[in-house]
Structure 1
Amino acid sequence: MHPRDSAPWVAPPPPLVPALLDPLAGARVTSADEAGVTLDVRTASGRTGTLRLRPATDNSLRITLRLDGVPTAPRVSLVTPPADTGCLVERSADRLTLRLGSLAVDVHLSPLTLELTECHLLQATDVSDPGDRTTVLPLGVTELADGQLVHHDSWFTEPDEHFYGLGERFTGPDLRGQRVDCWVEDAQGSTGTRSYKAVPFLLSSRGYAVLVDTTTAASFDLAHSNTGAWSLTVPDEELDYYLIAGTPTECLRTYRDLTGPALLPPAWAFGPWISGGFRPDSAADVRERGRRIRELGFPCDVLHIDTYWQRPGCWSDMEWDGEAFPDPRGLLIDLAGQGFHVSLWTNPYLSVDSPHFAEADRNGWFLRTPSGASWTGQVWGGAHPDSAVLDLTHPGAADWLRGRVRRVLAAGVSVLKTDFGEAVPVDAVAYNGMTGDRLHNLYPLLFNDLVAEVTREVAGHGLTWGRSTWTGGQRHGAKWTGDSNASWQDLASTLRAGLSLSFSGHPFWSHDIGGFHGTPEPELFVRWAQFGLLSPLTRFHGMTSRLPWDFGEEAYAAVLHAARLRTGLLPYVRRSAADAVRTGEPLARPMALDHPGRPDAHAADLQYLLGPDLLVAPLYAPGGRRQVWFPPGEWLPYAGSGGPIDGPAWRRVRIPLAAAPLWLRAGAHVL
């Protein structure tokens, strides 16, 4: 009934129509040694296959289920476990126990059930309602109406258990009670259930995590269909996931070890970015913005020029609009002389109106429909002509895009904003044989990998400023939370989405200060700017002006104060960022990350620690007052926000417009 339920999708996930539930019904051990345990398994309908339990790291176990006779298709693994991890296997008549460095798993053989012993996490198998109807998806498969198989597994949950991660979630970091589909989407705002960034990494407050190695539309039912259990569903040719034991920070470190470290952005990227916005622009306008910024002494390290650096209708051609920007090289030299780095917008689509469309179509450089034609469709919500999606598995298409990125960067551009990337249809066919149901979630990684590769070659760093991502996308450095509205509600959901991303192994995120759509009123702009300037990365951007001096003298004075505070904190922020890369922990630390055993920490989902010692509690409503939970210890307020506070404690605080929503851990050194 809700209007959002019928909102159009750019590329919806594949429909799954179940026909037959077929759980595992029997198992026989075929090997058990330091490399793990292998079992021959049989399903209720008689299908046969192999279940493998293998040590991955000293606190993680790889669980793989593959049934015999399932067709193989091109797929990509995004998880790389160490090759030298072993385990100890203890065996009795009806049970095996696998022991790793800090993890032990019992394998009960009849009925087949796994148990993570440290936190008493037990696999849910035969769970039914009073009518004897199954209410979980036990380890096994479901045959769909089209004959395909979907793999699944379920585990019991505790009543006070909290679930985090799975990418950017605007509904809030704690996902208990929700059903979450991991499918990168044009979220069309920031207050719904769709997300630009999906990561099939689930983090529990009970001391474990799960990482699924797939690029398909993995789904997590988190005590939604059955309040006593959670389930994962994977429409892939095999089930391949990692069960990780440890505190939330230990689990995030293991995610880093399995998928690679985050990229540390260059030092200048942590300063303020200022954009001319998503609206017509010119060299004269950019020069005037730069002149005004330096004249006023407003801190700014990066000037961003959005889509209109290119000709209208030819966006993503990666060619300057010669009328609006007659001398790009001269402009870039002038801006560099004033101390600015320059960011430009791009995306991986090509308009049907582009002069390069015919060549790319002729060369087979676009994703194809099942009939073999180039796929074209709406990726701009009807505001612009149809576009095609570059097939980045095609060497020719990838080389073409590399060449255009290289030429732009070589002229003096520092970084590219890699927008979009969510439009691969499920039935698309790629050059390498991969179909859209597997390529869709992978595509943002291919796009950002390509741009990062050329950026590293030309500019000496691999930073991209991306919108969509999947497992391992932390290697690209920066993500922003998409196209929010200029409203208090969107500010709050943007904050929660960022903290959700922090729980998902992606430490460096940002957002459009003031919101993207609409024009914020001055108080909202100030509070969003204070939040943005105390975020991991910070950028002013929108469809109308986000230039701080356009919102009145009082607002400008408050934002200037926050920007200068950011500048003063940069050494601390950069040190903390380097620690985040080293440890896998986020730069913006949700309260529940460090205090998973404190109920108040789970409720305090509109605040965070920036690094280890700065407590940030953005204002998410007008009036200058809000509730803040102070973690254990003494907290010293920023100027104008009251006296010291001893935690753990909730306090209703007043924060004047000109004061930052910030507290310092007593005894810490941040300057």
Structure 2
Amino acid sequence: MKRLLIFCGVLLLCLQANTQPYLQSSAVDVSQDFKDFSNTYFFADSLASFDPATASGTISWKRYSLFARQAFNTTTVLPQPLKMLDFPETQYENDPQLRFSIDFISPVTVRLRVYTSPVILPEEESLMLTGTPPRDGSWTYKKGNGTHTYTGRGGSIVIREYPFSIMLCDERGREMTRTRHWADNDSTQIKVLPFQFIKRASDNIRSINPVFSLRPNEKIVGCGESPTALNKVGQKVHLFVTDPQSPEGDQMYKPIPFFISNKGYGMFMHTSAPVTCDFGATHAGSAKLFMADETLDLFLFWGKPAEIIDQYTNLTGKATMPPLWSFGTWMSRITYFSQEEGYEVARQLRQNRIPADVIHFDTGWFQTDWQCDYVFAPDRFPDAQKMINDLLADGFHISLWQLPYFTPKNKYFPELIEKGLYVKNEKGGLPYEDVVLDFSNPETVTWYQEKLEGLLKMGVGAIKVDFG
């Protein structure tokens, strides 16, 4: 009995140690859903139908389930074909055939869409795109032995009927990458789950996971403002907006679902849902793109990095060139509390011949530190306009800190609640302790613009969008 109690106690501790509570606003690891034994898995198996004229057709998806497999002292996971238990069984397909389509956007850009439901929702305006992507008619089609090939200026996209795969080739016909099929595991000890989607048992929601091959010595760059190593191969990257607190971790303010390979291709995942990119982290030969989205909407690019970026920004918009001074040195700390400090920093920079173009005032330019009210503290900045003019005359542009969070002690807290200008939870209340500006509301945008207008008229050159 004593041994049994000890065993139960140790087991309980182990279970507690493995229970990781989700902390608000921390990054979501989408790949965890693809390890759940209660979910149903569908593997892309074969091309069920295809129309070369429209470059669209259907994919046959084989139904699988995950099972534990014991091998001596090791337990692994192995999927097995599943005969569905859905009721009434005569009314549903065990292995569904679902649509996919290819659109040719430019001579070096293709849009691949794969659907996991028979219901295809109508297209809506996307905030991620500058407009409706154009269509290009320069691609040529060729039917092969079990393949369908479209060739453009930069290379080709090949659809293999069985085992189903979508392959990207360069202009010489060399394979750059392709989607993985379960048959790719025939001669391997480690079984990698292929291109798939899941149906969650908890809510019936579908999520898709295109799995592409990684070549030897392949390098991947991109994914936004990621502070980890430039080459993402070997990493698992969570594309989820967080407040990372420091550049030493793997979370980021500005994730972007876009990356480039040194093998001559790039990909833009057109989704605002959380994404986890496993670039060879769990299997050296596979790039797994776990998406919390039921539809795969993927733009594929061919070319050198500069050309790929040009094609990507043709779709998403090109940034306006910032002013020349913004590329200079910005001098700041947390925080300069007075115009006297601002003058002294400027004096020492010039006296010591340290090149600098911007002086940034962080959290301390308000009357109360961190309490954003868009007004210079009058006792510590008795003549803010003169300070700005003097520093501009000395070659310094002024940057000011602010944030969209208004604490209960902020004077704008009740006003923003009364006017309904804040981000709301599903019940209409506050999701946090603070009021957060809802920039999807045009009235909030107007309110915010009015607060910044006076500062910009004073000559302030930049506003730091912290905590966004």
Q: In the aligned structure 1, how far is the partner of 2:317 from the partner of 2:440?
A: 22
Change (3 A) 1:112 1:199: same
Determine the structure 2 residue equivalent to 1:58: 107
Please, which of 381, 395, 400 is the counterpart of residue 447 of structure 2? 400
Structure-to-structure mapping, 1:93-242, within 5 angstroms:
94-118=146-170, 119-120=174-175, 121-126=177-182, 127-128=184-185, 135-143=192-200, 145-242=202-299
Match of 1:468 in 2: none
Distance change (3 Å), C-alpha of 1:165 and 1:7:
farther
Cα deviation, residue 6, structure 1: 7.3
Q: Distance in 2 between matches of 1:12 and 1:314?
A: 23
Q: Provide the aligned length of Structure 1 versus Structure 2.
A: 407
Return the structure number with greater relative CO, CA threshold 8 A, min gap 6: 1
Partner residue in 2 for 1:371: 427
Matching of residues 541-556 of structure 1 within 5 Å:
none
Q: Write the deviation string for residues 284-315 of structure 1: whole angstroms up to 9, x where unpaired.
A: 22122223333444332221111111232663
1:78 and 1:213 in contact (8 A); partners too? yes
Moved more, 126-135 or 37-46: 126-135
Question: In the TM superposition, what is the alpha-carbon distance from 1:76 to its structure 2 partner?
Answer: 3.5
Q: Structure 2 unaligned runs (5+)?
A: 1-13, 63-93
Q: Is the 8 A contact 2:41 2:199 kept in 1?
A: yes
* Contact 1:343–1:414 under 8 Å retained in 2: yes
Structure with bigger gyration radius? 2
Deviation at 1:55, TM superposition (A): 1.1
Q: Is the 8 A contact 1:366 1:375 kept in 2?
A: no
| 1:82-127, Cα deviation, whole Å (9 max, x unpaired) | 5141222223563211122222111112332111122412220114
Output aligned runs, 1:185-584, within 5 Å: 185-275=242-332, 277-279=333-335, 281-312=337-368, 315-377=371-433, 387-421=434-468
Give the letter for the 1:367 counterpart: V
Cα distance, 1:157–1:324 mapped onto 2, change above 3 Å = same
| Aligned residues of 1:218 and 1:235 also touching (Cα < 8 A) | yes
Cα distance in structure 2, aligned partners of 1:373 and 1:48: 43
Instruction: Report if the CA contact (8 A) 2:129-2:316 is conserved.
Output: yes
Conservation of the 8 A alpha-carbon contact between 1:13 and 1:183: yes
Please report how far the alpha carbon of residue 263 of structure 1 lies from its aligned counterpart in structure 2 after TM superposition.
2.8
Determine the C-alpha separation between the residues in 2 that align with 1:208 and 1:144. Answer: 36
Question: 2-side partners of 1:150 and 1:364: how far apart?
Answer: 34
* Distance in 1 (alpha carbons) for counterparts of 2:22 and 2:372: 24
Normalized per residue, the structure richer in strand is 2
**Displacement over 6 Å in runs of 4+:** 5-8, 70-75, 129-133
* TM-score, scaled relative to structure 2: 0.78
Aligned to 1:22: 42
Q: Residues 388, 10 of structure 1: CA spacing in aligned structure 2 closer, same or farther, 3 A cutoff?
A: farther
Give unmatched runs, 5+ long, in structure 1. 378-386, 422-671
Q: Secondary structure at the residue paired with 2:423? A: coil
CA deviations on 1:603-658 (whole Å, 9 max, x unpaired) are xxxxxxxxxxxxxxxxxxxxxxxxxxxxxxxxxxxxxxxxxxxxxxxxxxxxxxxx
Which residue type is aligned with residue 57 of structure 1?
Answer: S
What is the distance in 2 between the residues matched to 1:75 and 1:83? 14
Contact 2:29 2:238 in 1 (8 A): no
Q: Distance in 1 between matches of 2:21 and 2:354?
A: 41
Inter-partner Cα distance in structure 1 for 2:124 and 2:134 = 23
1:68 maps onto 2:124 in alignment: no
**More helix per residue: 1 or 2?**
1
Written as runs of structure 1 = structure 2, the 5 A alignment for 1:646-657 is: none
Question: What is the distance in 2 between the residues matched to 1:61 and 1:12?
Answer: 33
Q: Confirm whether residue 37 of structure 1 aligns to residue 55 of structure 2.
A: yes
**Counterpart of 2:241 in structure 1: which amino acid?**
V
Q: CA deviation at 1:241?
A: 0.9
Residues 151-178 of structure 1, C-alpha deviations (whole Å, 9 max, x = no match): 1111222232222221233331122222
AA partner of residue 42 (structure 2): D
Which residue identity lines up with residue 21 of structure 1 in the other structure? Y
Q: Distance in 2 between matches of 1:79 and 1:241?
A: 13
Contact 1:76/1:214, CA 8 A, preserved across alignment: no
Amino acid at match of 1:23: F
Q: Secondary structure at the match of 2:315?
A: helix
Distance between the aligned counterparts of 2:419 and 2:97, measured in 1? 44
- TM normalised by structure 1 equals 0.56
Instruction: Note if contact 2:27-2:242 (Cα within 8 Å) is conserved in structure 1.
Output: no
How does 1:627-642 map onto structure 2 within 5 Å? none
Q: Deviations over 1:308-359 (max 9, x none)?
A: 1123266333222222223222222222232321111122222221111111
Letter in 2 for 1:225: T
State the alpha-carbon separation in 2 of the partners of residues 312 and 6 from structure 1: 37
- Shift, 1:138, TM fit: 0.8
Give the Å deviation of 1:265: 1.7
Give, in whole Å, the separation in 2 of the partners of 1:341 and 1:296. 19
User: Aligned-pair RMSD on alpha carbons?
Assistant: 3.0
How far did 1:366 drift?
Answer: 1.2
Q: Distance in 1 between matches of 2:424 and 2:390?
A: 43
Match of 1:498? none
The 3-state SS of whatever aligns with 1:332 is helix
Contact 2:40 2:200 in 1 (8 A): yes
> Matched residue of 1:124: which SS?
coil
Partner in structure 1 of residue 4 of structure 2: none
